[in-house]
Amino acid sequence: MNNQNDFNKILKEKGYKFTSQRKHVFDVVVENDGKHLNSQEIYELVRKKYPEIGVATVYRTLALLEEMGLIYGVDFEDGFRRYEIAKNEEEHRHHHLICLECGSIKEMEEDLLGTIEERIYQNNQFKVINHRVKFYGYCENCITKMNIK
Amino acid sequence: MNNQNDFNKILKEKGYKFTSQRKHVFDVVVENDGKHLNSQEIYELVRKKYPEIGVATVYRTLALLEEMGLIYGVDFEDGFRRYEIAKNEEEHRHHHLICLECGSIKEMEEDLLGTIEERIYQNNQFKVINHRVKFYGYCENCITKMNIK
DNA sequence: CTCCATGCAAACACTTTGCAATCCG
DNA sequence: CGGATTGCAAAGTGTTTGCATGGAG
């Protein structure tokens, strides 16, 4: 299966044009799966392969890809909008374990809250469509280093 | 119990001075419990009672109050940092039900994940200290209006 | 009286927008 | 070709900082 053609096809389906700028931006996000790059970092990486690209194009493309559902924007409250690829097998987005000591971010695949959503509807008359969970604490490395329980 | 003296005392304990600017900022956050005001909104409200105050003071004070644990900053990914009062009875922060239709934000007090944290430690070697959950979906009003299930 | 805290304006950092030039289809 | 897309620079937005003045303790 050919990536370029796949990407091309998805764009066309939505009535958008294929450009190498868009391909390069998408590639960088895909190639850095799990790194939660922010827009500036993506811009820098794309520039290595395509130096003429402008910041505005990167921002516009990221918004486009997010709207198309190919990537997700995540906010770790550090002042940057960060992006990760959308894996369409996920019904709900995965969750993040954020280390308070070193700032590392680990992904966790379990769907914790699926069973709880019905209860929320009963108790709060609120129909849950998606949820987002962030856990703050200490990662394996820092637990060892800090010698805490 | 006298609010002004309480607030004064907490500041002194941490080695900070009592000023009427600080009191006014804190008061506005307390008086608007549940409204998740952003910094600009807080600035506007404080100015009604204390017109000479500057934006910088509001930002500095909000950071100070957060650091002291009197208020929490929350990020609803709308480009603003929003604040809510910290209720120290809460072991974990409460969670938010965010309506995708009208944008309303409702608070939910249940602690959903307390029991799950041990499992996370087993599975991921990650020691959870706190967690933050946001549910996206449709609120009671919008469900009625939109006539969805 | 001594610093801490304030107000002001300028500086910042990230993102968005306007517009002419360019390129895809 | 014609309209979507791009690059550039300028404008926006929310927030932070430098510094002289002011006020709490």
Same domain, B78 and B149: no
Same domain, B82 and B102: no
For residue A102, the 8-state DSSP code is T
Same domain, A22 and A56: yes
pLDDT computed for residue B91 by the predictor:
64
CATH of the domain at A106: 3.30.1490.190
The amino acid that residue B48 corresponds to is K
Contact A27, A67 (CB under 8 A): no
Helix H, strand E, coil C: the string for chain B is CCHHHHHHHHHHHCCCCCCHHHHHHHHHHHHCCCCCEEHHHHHHHHHHHCCCCCHHHHHHHHHHHHHCCCEEEEECCCCCEEEEECCCCCCCCCEEEEECCCCCEEEECCCCCHHHHHHHHHHHCCEEEEEEEEEEEECHHHHHHHCCC
Nucleotide nearest to A14 (CA to C1'): D4
pLDDT computed for residue B130 by the predictor:
85
Tokens read off for A18: 């294929």
Same domain, A57 and A123: no
pLDDT in tens, A7-59: 999 999 999 999 999 999 999 999 999 899 999 999 999 999 999 999 999 99
How does strand A105-108 pair with strand B37-38? unpaired
Q: How many domains does chain B have?
A: 2
CATH of the domain at A11: 1.10.10.10
| Nearest by Cα to A26 from A68, A54, A56 | A68
pLDDT computed for residue B118 by the predictor:
86
Q: Is the Cβ of B134 closer than 8 Å to some Cβ of chain A? A: yes
Nearest CA in chain B to A136: B130
Q: Which of B71, B89, B107 is the last residue of a domain?
A: B89
Rounded to an integer, what distance in angstroms lies between the CA atom of residue A77 and that of residue A8? 33
Same domain, A32 and A68: yes
Same domain, A48 and A84: yes
Contact A139, A101 (CB under 8 A): yes
Domain carrying residue A52: 1-89
As a rounded value in angstroms, the CA-to-C1' distance for A18 and C24 is 7
Same domain, A51 and A121: no
Q: Which of A89, A117, A135 is the last residue of a domain?
A: A89
pLDDT computed for residue A149 by the predictor:
56
Is the pLDDT confidence value at B47 over 70?
A: yes
Same domain, B141 and B77: no
From B98's Cα to the closest Cα of chain A, the distance in A is 9
Same domain, B126 and B59: no
How sure is the predictor about A104, in pLDDT bands with cuts at 50, 70 and 90? confident
pLDDT computed for residue A54 by the predictor:
97
B-chain residues near A113 (CB < 8 A): 112, 133
Instruction: Please provide the distance, in angstroms rounded to a whole number, between the alpha carbons at the two ends of chain B.
Output: 48
Same domain, B144 and B80: no
Same domain, A67 and A95: no
As a rounded value in angstroms, the CA-to-C1' distance for B81 and D18 is 24
Same domain, B18 and B77: yes
